[in-house]
Amino acid sequence: MQPEELTQSPEEETTSFDKLEESIQANKVLYDRLHQSLIDEVVATVEDEDEVQHYKDQQKTVAWDYLKKLKHFYQANDLFRYAVWSLGLMLISTAILTIVEYDLFKGDVISDIGNTFQFGEGDPNWVDTFFHTFWWSVVTFTTVGYGDVSPVTHLGKLLTIIIMLLNFGIVTLLGGAVASVLVAARLKGDDKLDENKFHGHIIIAGWNPAVQSTLRLIEADRDANPVVILINETEAEIVKRAVSGFERLDVTHLSENFTQEAVLKDAFIEECGTFMIMPDYSGLLPNEQPDEDKTVLTSLTAKSISDSIQVVAYILDEEYISHLKRANVNEIVFPDEHIPHMLAKHVTDPGVPQLFDELITQEGQDKGIQVVTIPKGLTGLTHNKISAYYKFKHQWLLVGYAIRKAGFSLEDQMGESGSPLIRNMITEQLDSAGIALSSDEHVIVEINPSDDYVIDDKHKALVLR
């Protein structure tokens, strides 16, 4: 506000300022009533519990996963199976040898070990003897053959012959198993990603100058998932250079054609948090325009894999917007829409475009407009209370709300009208045909609502920090 505009008499000014002061005080009282500490505690405990549970679940699944992998490996790999069985046979033979030639090996233990540690104190017991026999087996197996122990009786020699022949097989097979695993890994290629890592990650399809800046903003927000997969056919070196500066982000580059379903599945698209499609400049000359059909095609492919994938498409040509809407893309980013507005505002409302610039350039430092989760204890309260909470607790200005809304829901639309029989039939039959009864959720914003506007758990706060 310009100082010249305050043309009230000094007296009037004081009274109105008094009123302002009063209302700020009232707001503070309001805020105190929100029991900030209590709310924070509740929120913190809920989060802690969630985390502990999550950690436990994860531990359990990791161990289970390894067991499953081992079982799978055992079933799939002939060599490994053979090796396991041979090892088992070797242990059995050793056990038999221990039993049959017990006295011989026991005598050997006494003469070989002397006064060093043994399990049976003074007199070697069966553990010492078995270990000693096993030692001899391994020495023989590995063709080291120290010769410190050797069979004497005919039976002992016979069993030794069996063990030595088995050894021949095992050593060959174990070597083969190791080699085959290595070869298999090499043949599969190194591109196979570890699926445990990818959950709620970000996939960016297409290479574009905007990718790097987008990643920079994601890097700056500590709450954002740091796992990113880039899919484009730009040279790996160029991509590597572009993403080398990020510390927090874990970027993987898949050099493949992102319109293909198999490629998207390799990037675990069903698990991803956001799938972003950009105009792809891979392999284009500087004056060539990207082919935006690819964006539409990729959206359709992604949505056909799973309707619940959150797809954000960046488009340069207005013509494609209708196609993308038909492909059920969640959000469409079309920058040209904003340009006339920005230009015109320089004439009509100087300062507004500068404000936008300022907001955008500040984003890197945890400033600017951000979406924050509203503490659970505050849901159900009115806008003025939430606003007071952010103002006095964090010194943030609450601008409005981002609300996740289910799109069109057939069930809501039908409500209780008509006969229940027909309604049930419709839902049942559509459901069995795999047609979702509601369109995708999307985000709408409610800016500066009235004071008595009530927020629910679908609301997130848009704050200016």
Partner 1 sequence: MSVNAEQIQKINHFSKLPEDMCGKIADVVELKKCNPKTRLLKEGDTGDTMVLVFQGQVEVSKNMMVKAASGFTMSRKSIIRLETTDPPPATDPITEPTVAVVQAPAFGIGEFSLVLDDAIRTAHVHAMTHVEYGILKLDDFSKIVEENPSIGGPVYFEVAKAAVNNLATASQDISNLTQAFFFALTR
Q: Are 293 and 268 spatial neighbours (Cβ–Cβ below 8 Å)?
A: no
Q: How far is the CB of 405 from partner 1 (least distance, A)?
A: 17
Q: How far is the CB of 38 from partner 1 (least distance, A)?
A: 44
The candidate with the shortest Cα–Cα distance to 105, out of 87, 128, 88, 123, is 128
Q: Are 364 and 245 spatial neighbours (Cβ–Cβ below 8 Å)?
A: no
- Which lies closer to partner 1 via its Cβ, residue 380 or residue 418? 418
**One residue of 87, 297, 371, 436 binding partner 1 per CB under 8 A:** 436
Structure tokens at 93: 């033979």
Q: Does 262 bind partner 1 (CB under 8 A)?
A: no
Q: How far is the CB of 433 from partner 1 (least distance, A)?
A: 7
Q: Does 425 bind partner 1 (CB under 8 A)?
A: yes
Among the residue ranges 91-99, 103-111, 223-231, 406-414, the one whose residues contact partner 1 (CB under 8 A): 406-414
- Which lies closer to partner 1 via its Cβ, residue 48 or residue 428? 428
Q: How far is the CB of 434 from partner 1 (least distance, A)?
A: 9
Q: Does 418 bind partner 1 (CB under 8 A)?
A: yes
Measured distance CA(161)–CA(79) in Å, rounded: 23
Q: DSSP 3-state assignment of 400?
A: strand
Q: Which residue has the tokens 């049942």?
A: 428
- Which lies closer to partner 1 via its Cβ, residue 285 or residue 433? 433
Q: Does 2 bind partner 1 (CB under 8 A)?
A: no
**One residue of 240, 429, 456, 457 binding partner 1 per CB under 8 A:** 429
- Which lies closer to partner 1 via its Cβ, residue 10 or residue 420? 420
Q: Does 10 bind partner 1 (CB under 8 A)?
A: no
Q: Does 410 bind partner 1 (CB under 8 A)?
A: yes
Please give the DSSP secondary-structure letter assigned to residue 454: B
Q: Does 325 bind partner 1 (CB under 8 A)?
A: no
Which CA distances in Å does 113 have to 51, 102, 205, 275? 54, 16, 67, 67
Q: Can you point out the beta strands (E) in 278-342?
A: 311-314, 331-333
**One residue of 435, 444, 445, 454 binding partner 1 per CB under 8 A:** 435
Q: Does 393 bind partner 1 (CB under 8 A)?
A: no
Q: Are 362 and 368 spatial neighbours (Cβ–Cβ below 8 Å)?
A: yes
Q: Does 395 bind partner 1 (CB under 8 A)?
A: no
Measured distance CA(167)–CA(28) in Å, rounded: 83
- Which lies closer to partner 1 via its Cβ, residue 423 or residue 442? 423
- Which lies closer to partner 1 via its Cβ, residue 119 or residue 408? 408
**One residue of 262, 421, 450, 452 binding partner 1 per CB under 8 A:** 421
Alpha-carbon radius of gyration of the chain: 35
Measured distance CA(449)–CA(464) in Å, rounded: 16
In 10 A of CB 227, how many CB atoms? 19
Q: Does 423 bind partner 1 (CB under 8 A)?
A: yes
The candidate with the shortest Cα–Cα distance to 281, out of 290, 270, 292, 271, is 290
Which CA distances in Å does 58 have to 198, 321, 322? 14, 41, 42
Q: Does 321 bind partner 1 (CB under 8 A)?
A: no
Q: How many CA atoms lie within 13 A of 235 on its CB side?
A: 5
To the nearest 10°, report the CA torsion of 329, 334, 338, 343.
-170
Site for partner 1 in 142-161 (CB under 8 A): none
- Which lies closer to partner 1 via its Cβ, residue 332 or residue 374? 332
Own/partner pairs, 53-62, CB within 8 angstroms, 24+ separation: 62/196
Q: Does 420 bind partner 1 (CB under 8 A)?
A: yes
Q: Does 111 bind partner 1 (CB under 8 A)?
A: no
Residues that bind partner 1 (CB under 8 A): 408, 410, 413-414, 417-423, 425-426, 428-430, 432-433, 435-436
